[in-house]
Amino acid sequence: MRAPYGLYILDNCLTCPVREEHLFCNLSVQAGQRLNEIKSTAVYPKGAMLFIEGQQPRGVFVLCAGKAKLSTSSREGKTIITKLSESGDVLGLNAVVSNRPYEVTAEMMEPGQANFIPRESLLQFLKDNGEVALRVAQQLSLNYYTAYEEIRTLGLTSSPSEKFAKLLLSWSTKSPQSDGSSQVKLTLTHEEIAEIIGTTRETVSRLFSDFKKKQLLQLKGSTLVIRNRPALEKIVQS
């Protein structure tokens, strides 16, 4: 099924390639079919907002393809990115369960696709499927722990360089190489990295320079090579 933005629509969750791994995957046949009935699918361009901080929750989005960033902003325009989401992630769950406004804004970072499940349908579905409700509770609890990680980083990690090192390490663990180094495709702008670690674009630029000079990393085109994990860990230390 051909769609805009050069994507193919994945129109059936029962045969979706990202099955098996995530919150609403690997359900019983009945539950899976029911879920397939109440969801609707849409394709989004880069920059599309799935929902915006402060809006009343309409439902949850299950990201099927593409990446999204979750962020929160102050009135003066300062923004922090709290999470980068990938396919399989469920967005807006907390707002829907608690019926409070979305606490973040979800914006597509590249063209992609998401299933939408309206709030009322989802809550009814959870009532009918206790085992899924339990998994949702566990997911919420996991979200809480992630939030606490963020609090710790923001409140206890003082210097930008420490936070930058932390970020690099988190990337590097996702693609470990046998020789201890690791390669990451760099898709974020300096501005976005700055919003993740809570500093300015210029400081990120300088951090790249410094770390390159110190042989901690290397740039091959848009591929980031992390060369010295132990040194990075020493910078983080806390």
Partner DNA sequence: GCGCGCTCGTGATGGTGATCACAAGCGAAA
Partner DNA sequence: TTTCGCTTGTGATCACCATCACGAGCGCGC
Contact positions toward a copy of itself, by CB under 8 A?
72-76, 78, 80, 82, 94, 97-98, 100, 103-104, 137-138, 140-145, 147-148, 150-152, 154-158, 198, 237-238
Residue 203 touches which of a copy of itself, DNA, none (Cβ within 5-8 Å per kind): DNA
- CB of residue 224 to DNA, shortest distance in Å: 11
Residue 161 touches which of a copy of itself, DNA, none (Cβ within 5-8 Å per kind): DNA
- CB of residue 21 to DNA, shortest distance in Å: 31
Q: Applying CB under 7 A, which of residues 37, 149, 202, 233 lies at the interface with DNA?
A: 202
How remote is the C-alpha of 118 from its chain's centroid?
Answer: 21
Region binding DNA by CB under 7 A among candidate stretches 2-10, 23-31, 50-58, 157-165: 157-165
Residue 218 touches which of DNA, a copy of itself, none (Cβ within 5-8 Å per kind): none
Region binding DNA by CB under 7 A among candidate stretches 83-91, 95-103, 168-176, 206-214: 206-214
Kindly give, in sequence order, each residue whose CB lies less than 8 Å from that of residue 17, ignoring residues fewer than 6 positions away: 10
Give the separation between CA 145 and CA 117, rounded to whole angstroms: 25
Which of residues 30 and 200 has its CB atom nearest to DNA in the complex?
200
Residue 209 sits in the site that holds DNA (CB under 7 A): yes
Both tokens of residue 19? Answer: 């099955």
# of chain residues touching DNA (CB under 7 A): 17
Which of residues 120 and 202 has its CB atom nearest to DNA in the complex?
202
Which regions of the chain does DSSP assign to beta strands (E)? 40-44, 49-51, 59-65, 68-73, 79-85, 90-91, 105-108, 112-118, 182-185, 217-220, 223-226
Please check whether residue 108 is in contact with residue 65, taking contact to mean a CB–CB distance below 8 angstroms: no
Both tokens of residue 195? Answer: 């919003």
Both tokens of residue 173? Answer: 């663990």
3-class SS at 2? Answer: strand
3-class SS at 218? Answer: strand
Kindly identify the residues of this chain, within the stretch 15-54, that bind DNA according to CB under 7 A: none
Kindly identify the residues of this chain, within the stretch 89-118, that bind DNA according to CB under 7 A: none
3-class SS at 105? Answer: strand
